[in-house]
Amino acid sequence: MVKITTESLSNGIILGISFVNLLWAFYLYDALIRIKVIFELLAKFFKSVAIVFVLTIKFIPQIIAIYRETKELNKFRIYEESKKFSQRIKETMALTEVVLNKSIANFMNVADALTLKGYEQRQQKIGKTDFKTSDWAILSTVLISIIINLILVILKIGKINFGSANLSIQTDIKIWIIMILDSLLILLPLITGGWAYLWWKYYVSKTTVSNTTTVKDFR
């Protein structure tokens, strides 16, 4: 006999909440990147990590791009490729000098950006972020799901009891509530994605004059 209990359905809601947490994590990460709050947070609280983060994604790729561009431009200035070792050293040194001169300018731009982000303690507060109603709703959902996760872990809820092959379904008001919550959590990503798709297809793509491939596909 298999008995569907509150604990067995709670196991499903745990999986649903975990999936929703992962979805919100990607959403929040994308939002932080887009509004550049992550740079301010790193510069304010984790400066040693921020310098590596900023240099990795901003400064170092620029140096590599400058080196490649300068090397390609030098091919048009050199009529004959020298085979002498000393001449190659001179050409390499000249290339390095040009790259360093250009990199210093980029480094100064990065330094100015770090200063504005609070590296010299000139910024006492993190930049203000405007929250919309949807942002508050998402934040509330995340907090509620975290609290529910903690309660389920502390109370050790989520065990599934299996019996024989005979199935007997017993339901009550608690089980129906949990089943409804399970269904909503499972369908929530589909509802959210579907709403965004329909909003783009029937509003944004119609009001935006664009011939890009993305807009054409959505239309």
Helix (H, G, I), strand (E, B) or coil at 3: strand
pLDDT of 54 > 50? The answer is yes
Of 2-6, 69-73, 80-84, 173-177, the one with minimum mean pLDDT is 2-6
Q: DSSP letters along 136-204, please?
A: HHHHHHHHHHHHHHHHHHHHT--------S-EE----HHHHHHHHHHHHHHHHHHHHHHHHHHHIIIII
Residues 6+ apart with CB under 8 A from 181: 13, 16
pLDDT of 190 reads 67
Q: Which of 129, 132, 150 is nearest to 21 (CA)?
A: 150
Query: Measured between alpha carbons, how far is 98 from 64 in angstroms, rounded to an integer?
Result: 13
pLDDT of 125 reads 44
Query: Measured between alpha carbons, how far is 96 from 27 in angstroms, rounded to an integer?
Result: 42
Q: Which residue has the higher pLDDT, 95 or 197?
A: 95
- List the beta bridge partners of residue 111: none
pLDDT of 81 > 80? The answer is no
Where in the chain are the domains? 2-170
Query: Measured between alpha carbons, how far is 60 from 54 in angstroms, rounded to an integer?
Result: 9
Question: Is the distance from CB of 95 to CB of 71 less than 8 angstroms?
Answer: yes
Q: Fill in the DSSP letter of residue 58.
A: I
Question: Is the distance from CB of 163 to CB of 1 less than 8 angstroms?
Answer: yes
pLDDT of 138 reads 72
